Structure 1
Amino acid sequence: MGPAHAASGLAAGALTLGVAATHLGIDRPLEQLAWVVAWGGFAYLPDLDQKGSTAGSMWGPPTRWLSRLIGVLARRHRGGTHDALVAPLVFGGLAALAARNHWTALAVLALGIGLALHAVAQLVPGDAEKTAIGNLVLSGAGAWWLTDQGVHLPWLPWAVAGGVLVHIAGDALTTDGVPVPFTTWARRRPRTLGLRLFDAGRGPEPLLQYLVFPTLTVLGLVRYVGPVRDLLAPLV
C-alpha cells in the first residue's frame, strides 16, 4: 500500500546516500535530505496508474488528469508502470528531460515531495497535507526552498528511477505480483512474476512499514548525514 511504498523508498534513499555522495556528489545535508525524500515520494509514483487512486487526487484536477494519462499508457493497474525494465527507464528518462530546465526540475521535485507527504499523511499532525491545495502549497514551497538553498537537481532521474524500482520490488512480494517485462503491451493478460508472500496491506507489511523501514532510514541518516549523526548517534 502507499504508506509502505513510501517508507521503503525513504529507507532505500537513506541507505544509498553513500553511493550518491561518491558518484553524484550529494554530500551536503540539505541535498541529502532532498535525495531521501525524493526516493520516498517516487516510490509511490507507479500507483498513479490507477483511475481514482488516492495518489491521483493529490493535487486535484492536475494529478487526476496525469493519473488518467498514465493509466491509459500503462493499460491497467500494475501494468506498464510496474514493469521492472520499462518503468524505471521511462520515468527516469522523463525526469532526465525535466532536469534540463530549472522550472520543470522544480515541478518534478515538488511532485516527489507531494507524493511523500500524501503517503505518510497519517503520521503528520494536522490536515493541510491531506488537501489538494495544502499539499500543492507545501510541496511546491518545499521544492522552491530546497533549490533556493542551493540544492541542484541533476541527480533527479536516479531518484525517480530508483523509487519506481523499489515500488516494483515491493509489489513483487505480494500475491498479485508484477508483470513479466514487456508482456503488458504484448498480451491481453500479461504474465506476472513475484515471490507472492502475502496480500497487499497484510502479513508482515505493517511490521515493515512501521518498524523495519523507519529503522533502516534512521540508520542510513545517522551513517551518512553529519547533523543527524551528531544528534542521534549517542542514542543509536
Structure 2
Amino acid sequence: MMGPAHAASGLAAGALTLGLATRFGVDAPLEQLAWVVAWGGFAYLPDLDQRGSTAGSVWGPPTRLLSRAVGFLARRHRGGTHDVVVAPVAFGALAAVAANWPWSALVVLALGIGLALHAISQLIPGGTEKTALGNLALSFLGAWWLTHQGVVLPWLPVAVAGGVVTHIAGDALTTDGVPVPFTTWLRKKPATVGLRLFRAGRGPEPFLQFLVFPALTLLGLVQHVGPVRDLLAPLV
C-alpha cells in the first residue's frame, strides 16, 4: 500500500488495541491519543528502506541519512524491513533501548508524530507539516508537550513493533507481497508471500484508506476513550 494508507491502517490498529494498551499503563485520554498517533506514524517505518519515501524524507537530511543506513541493512525495498519476524523485533528493540532515556524516547515519539502529521496533511490547513523544518518543529513540540503533560513512554516499543506489523500486513495484501522471513539475507532474490489482492495504490486501497480505516479508528476511540465517547454520544 501507499504511505497514507499505511498510516490510516496504523491509526485504526492503534485505536482498536486501546483495550490491550492498559496493560502497558496507557489509560489516561492523553496517553491513549499518543498511543494511537504513534501506531499511525510508526506504520510508515518499514518504508525507511526506500530513498525518497515519506519516511525517508520527512525531516530532510537526518531522515535521508537514516534511510540510507536502513536501506543498506534491508538490502532492498520491501526487503528486511518488511520481514514480519525480523523487522518488528529489530525496530521494537531499538525503541526499547531509546525508551530508557528521556531525550531518545522524545526523538522516537517525535518521529512517530512527524510521520503521522505528514500522513494526514491533506486534512490540515496550510502545508507546514509537509516541510522538513516545519514538520520537525511541530513533531518535537508535540512530543515535548505530551511528555510534559505526564505521558510516560514505556509502551513505545509496543507501538513501534505494532505499527511495523500493521504496515507489513497491508503490503501483504498487494501484488508484490512481502518477503518470506529471513530469505532477504539468505537468497539473492527473496521468496515472497501475500494475498496479492490488488496493486499498491489501486483497487480497494482508496476505499480502505478513506472509509474503512477511519471508521475503525473512530470505533476504537468511541469504545475506549471516555471524552470521545461523551462527545459523540448524541450522534451514535
- Class of the TM-score when normalised by the shorter of the 2 chains: over 0.9
- Does residue 64 of structure 1 match 2:64? yes
Aligned pairs for 1:119-158 within 5 A:
119-158=119-158
C-alpha distance in 1 between matches for 2:187 and 2:155: 35
User: In the alignment, residue 184 of structure 2 is paired with which amino acid?
Assistant: T
Secondary structure (helix, strand or coil) at the match of 1:87 reads helix
Q: In the alignment, is residue 55 of structure 1 matched against residue 55 of structure 2? A: yes
Q: Deviations over 1:22-70 (max 9, x none)?
A: x112110000000000000000110111012232111110000001100
C-alpha deviation, 1:119, in angstroms: 1.7
Give secondary structure in 1 for the equivalent of 2:234.
helix
Q: Which amino acid aligns with 1:44?
A: Y
Q: CA deviation at 1:7?
A: 0.3
Q: Structure 1: any 5+ residue segments left out of the alignment?
A: none
- How far apart in 2 are the matches of 1:55 and 1:161? 16
Contact 1:91–1:161 (CA<8 Å) still a contact in 2? Answer: yes
Who is 2:7 aligned against?
Answer: 6
In structure 2, how many angstroms separate the alpha carbons of the residues matched to 1:76 and 1:147?
36
In 1, the alpha carbon distance for the partners of 2:139 and 2:13 equals 21
Q: Deviations over 1:121-151 (max 9, x none)?
A: 1222110001000000000000000000000
Q: Secondary structure at the match of 1:107?
A: helix
Amino acid of the structure 1 residue aligned with 2:196: R
- Which residue number corresponds to residue 184 of structure 1? 184
Secondary structure of residue in 2 paired with 1:33: helix
Look up the equivalent residue of 1:4 and give its one-letter code: A
The one-letter code of the counterpart of 2:12 is A
Partner of 1:95: 95
- C-alpha displacement at 1:73, in angstroms? 0.4
The match for 2:211 is 211
Residue 173 of structure 1 aligns with which residue?
173
Q: How many residues align?
A: 235
1:20 aligns with 2:28: no
Contact 1:175 1:195 in 2 (8 A): yes
Contact 1:55/1:118 (8 A) holds in 2: no
Report the CA distance between 1:120 and its aligned residue.
1.8
User: Is the partner of 1:235 in helix, strand or coil?
Assistant: coil
Structure 1 outlier segments of 4+, above 2 Å: none
* Deviation at residue 233 of structure 1 after TM alignment: 2.3
Runs of 5+ consecutive residues of structure 2 not aligned to the other structure? none
Looking at structure 2, the residues matched to 55 and 157 of structure 1 have their Cα atoms a distance apart, in angstroms, of: 18
TM-score, normalised relative to structure 1: 0.98
- 3-state DSSP of counterpart to 1:181: coil
Q: Match for 1:140: what amino acid?
A: F
2-side partners of 1:54 and 1:46: how far apart? 11
- How high is the TM-score relative to the length of structure 2? 0.98
How big is the alpha-carbon RMSD for the aligned residues of Structure 1 and Structure 2?
A: 0.7
Query: In structure 1, what is the Cα distance between the partners aligned to 2:230 and 2:183?
Result: 49
* 1:84 alignment partner, SS class: coil
- How far is 1:234 from its partner? 2.1
